[in-house]
Amino acid sequence: MNNPEERTPSPWVSALPLGVLTLLLCLVIRCFGGDAIDGGSQMALLSAASVCVMLSIGIYRCRWAVLEEAIVDNIRASASAIVILLLIGAIAGTWMVSGVVPTMIYYGLQILHPSFFLVASCIICAVVSLMTGSSWTTIATIGVALMGVGRAMGFPDGWVAGAIISGAYFGDKISLLSDTTVLASSTVGVPVFTHIRYMLYTTVPSFLVALAVFVAAGLMLRHDDAAHAGLYAETLASTFRITPWLLLVPLATGVLIARRLPALVTLFAAVVFACAAMLLAQPELVAEVAGVERLEFLSAFRGVLTSCFGPTAIPTGTPELDELVATRGMGGMLNTVWLIICAMCFGGVMTGSGMLRSLTAVFLRIVRRVFSAVASTVGAGIFFNLCTADQYISIILTGRLFRDLYAERGLEERLLSRSVEDSATVCSVLIPWNSCGMTQATVLGVSTFVYMPYCIFNIVSPLMSLLVAAVGYRIVVKK
């Protein structure tokens, strides 16, 4: 007779916690909208985890000690990702107050021309998102400004929003500062630098396709002038000390990345570089952040630390730019950290109870080759975006669900993390009831169904992932 503790949950029972999670998240999104990450999603994850615990203990006699150990192991595995996220928050604050990001935006706005407005908007949003690691921040700030410029030039809303979103999600996807990038790599267990380098094989071609489409569209569509771009550039120049020397900060960071130093070392160094630049280039703004008129040692120390961990708001006189240069520092990452911890609890009990293994077994019977594995992963990423209405949870569930499957099939973990990003990350904004889709539609003032056909990068990315898998380029199968 089998030991009750060794019984494997059936796939139908294993799917119940996922069903509960999907239902709760739908209710959370309906109630809280874009603020779902502020606590509602976390409670949904913990509630679904409790359902999993009750089923596994009540039906399959699983010991609580086993589930607790799985939770602890999951949280322990995500510890480095949590520290990275906090450092990302510090970089977001210091790079903004130091003038690094405003300098990038300033020089980016100089290249705007009506005929190339769409492609320039895409590139600007890509650069800003790459430097900040946040598609949401990019779209809600410079994206809103570009939306106004595009309307003034006479471009259709769908095309402008599509260019903005395509660029923002490209930068977010490959940025070392992106929480989704860190989340996807850490969930699967791939070093973040390895994950980013491997994504380039699908991400860069997808972005080039998007740029080509926006160039053609910009040349064919009717447009007027780009006066607003000059106004925003002048406002940035009057608020920050804009100088090419500030570009040494991202350049030095890029050198550290190229030398493949650990992510924690690179990110901490990036914060230190920005703090030094802040004191040298923007002493008046440091004093403003510190709440003093004259900068001294202690007030400088206070201003620098506040830029790292707290919210900062630098008035520019333009509401759109005020929102752009406002940062939340390390404190702004705490909701994401909270979400990760709750997701790790859910993933831990699903793993410890054997339910995740039971669901994976279903896919094992379907997946035979590389293409079918990648296709199943891409499909699952989109499916979880549809069901859970949240890209963070979609990334975690897809990565956890397929991790053992890829190991059994001899497929590299970096292939899984890339496939997750090619689907769960970029497709979330295309779904109207997803938190990303709802937020961007509200921020840009354009319906999801209106901008969806023009988000070229987001549409091409999962297709490119399938194409590269079909060709087998740079895909290694372990014997």
DSSP-assigned states of every residue in 239-286: HS---GGGGHHHHHHHHHHHTT--HHHHHHHHHHHHHHHHHHH-HHHH
The fraction of the chain above a pLDDT of 90, given in percent, is 23
Q: In which band, very low, low, confident or very high, does the pLDDT at 260 lie, cut at 50, 70 and 90?
A: low
57 vs 148 pLDDT, higher one? 57
Alpha carbon distance 182, 386 (integer Å): 22
Instruction: Please tell me the pTM assigned to this model.
Output: 0.71
pLDDT for residue 269 is more than 50: yes
pLDDT at 223: 60
Alpha carbon distance 242, 240 (integer Å): 6
Task: Let me know: does 155 contact 118? Beta carbons within 8 Å.
Answer: yes
CB count within 10 Å of CB 70 equals 20
pLDDT at 142: 75
Task: Let me know: does 352 contact 337? Beta carbons within 8 Å.
Answer: no
- Label residue 259 exposed, middle or buried (CB < 10 Å: 0-12, 13-18, 19+): exposed
pLDDT for residue 5 is more than 60: no
pLDDT for residue 125 is more than 80: yes
Name the CA radius of gyration of the chain, rounded: 23
Q: In which band, very low, low, confident or very high, does the pLDDT at 305 lie, cut at 50, 70 and 90?
A: very high
Alpha carbon distance 41, 466 (integer Å): 30
CB count within 10 Å of CB 255 equals 12
DSSP 366-388: T--SHHHHHHHHHHHHHHHHHHH
pLDDT at 76: 81
Query: φ, ψ for residue 392 (rounded to 5)?
Result: -65, -45
Alpha carbon distance 286, 348 (integer Å): 43
Q: In which band, very low, low, confident or very high, does the pLDDT at 100 lie, cut at 50, 70 and 90?
A: confident
3-state SS, residue 157: helix
CB count within 10 Å of CB 474 equals 14
pLDDT for residue 389 is more than 70: no
Task: Let me know: does 210 contact 166? Beta carbons within 8 Å.
Answer: yes
pLDDT for residue 7 is more than 90: no
Q: How far is CA 116 from CA 165, 212, 213, 214, 222, in A?
A: 17, 11, 11, 8, 11
pLDDT tens-digit map of 194-219: 999 999 999 999 999 999 999 999 88
